[in-house]
Chains A and B, each alone.
Chain A
Amino acid sequence: KQEVTQIPAALSVPEGENLVLNCSFTDSAIYNLQWFRQDPGKGLTSLLLIQSSQREQTSGRLNASLDKSSGRSTLYIAASQPGDSATYLCAVTPRTGFQKLVFGTGTRLLVSP
């Protein structure tokens, strides 16, 4: 059974700092990995999707990498801002069975001014 783990569970940084969020998964047989952002009381917004054949994806100040063989992904946020404060979730789409997402429990990020 695919399991997804995110470390740390919470992170607090001052504005301007570069930071890395970690995601690990137990089974490398995946179609893709997605990083989501969730604001308090809101739904999830997909930030980046990395297909299994890709190594990384970039969007603005965000860069996500994927090392499928080791079962790891990182989300790098450059020059963090208070508006980046949110919970970040990663999810994989396993190759077994129908394509559905398996989520980690998230990292709650607080960026202070």
Chain B
Amino acid sequence: NAGVTQTPKFQVLKTGQSMTLQCAQDMNHNSMYWYRQDPGMGLRLIYYSASEGTTDKGEVPNGYNVSRLNKREFSLRLESAAPSQTSVYFCASSPIDSQGNKAFFGQGTRLTVV
């Protein structure tokens, strides 16, 4: 009964390094999302995937890429990390029709770029 699982939980990168944040859900949800959370700014949507095989930009997509590997997995890649990408990253999933369904979040990845 894992729900949404994110790895890693913590990461420190040097400016210019790349990394991939992994996310998997076991609830058979169609939709998955990546958010970042910064102090005083709330959660902002980076990218989302409405269904397997589709991805779309959210509010703050610059500097990121995503892959919806299959229905379970949705990864977020930083090709060349910048200090402005220091943040806490959350993956979430929900059924495709969210009118009556709750969103489920992972535990987050705390990323520091130095």
Contacts and interface: CB of A to CB of B under 8 A. Distances in A.
Interface of A: 4, 31-32, 34, 36, 41-46, 49, 51, 89, 91, 93, 98-101, 103-106
Nearest to B48: A100
20 contacts: A4-B42, A31-B98, A32-B98, A32-B100, A34-B102, A36-B105, A42-B108, A44-B105, A51-B100, A91-B43, A91-B103, A99-B94, A99-B98, A100-B45, A100-B48, A100-B58, A101-B43, A101-B45, A105-B40, A105-B41
Contacts of A51: 99-100
B42 A103 contact: yes
B13 interface: no
A35 to B, nearest CB: 10
Contacts, number: 65
Interface string B62-98: 0000000000000000000000000000101010011
Nearest to A49: B102
Contacts of B92: 44, 101
B107 A42 contact: yes
B37 to A, nearest CB: 9
A41 B102 CA distance: 21
Nearest to B95: A99
Interface residues of B, number: 30
Contact of B103 (A101, A104, A106): A101
Given A31-B99, A46-B102, A89-B42, 5 more contacts: A31-B98, A41-B108, A45-B105, A93-B99, A101-B33
A89 B43 CA distance: 9
B61 interface: no
Contacts of B42: 4, 89, 103-106
B26 interface: no
B27 interface: no
Nearest to A95: B99
Contacts of A49: 100-102
Which 8 residue pairs are nearest across A and B when measured between Cβ atoms? A46-B102, A43-B105, A44-B105, A105-B42, A103-B43, A103-B42, A99-B98, A43-B107
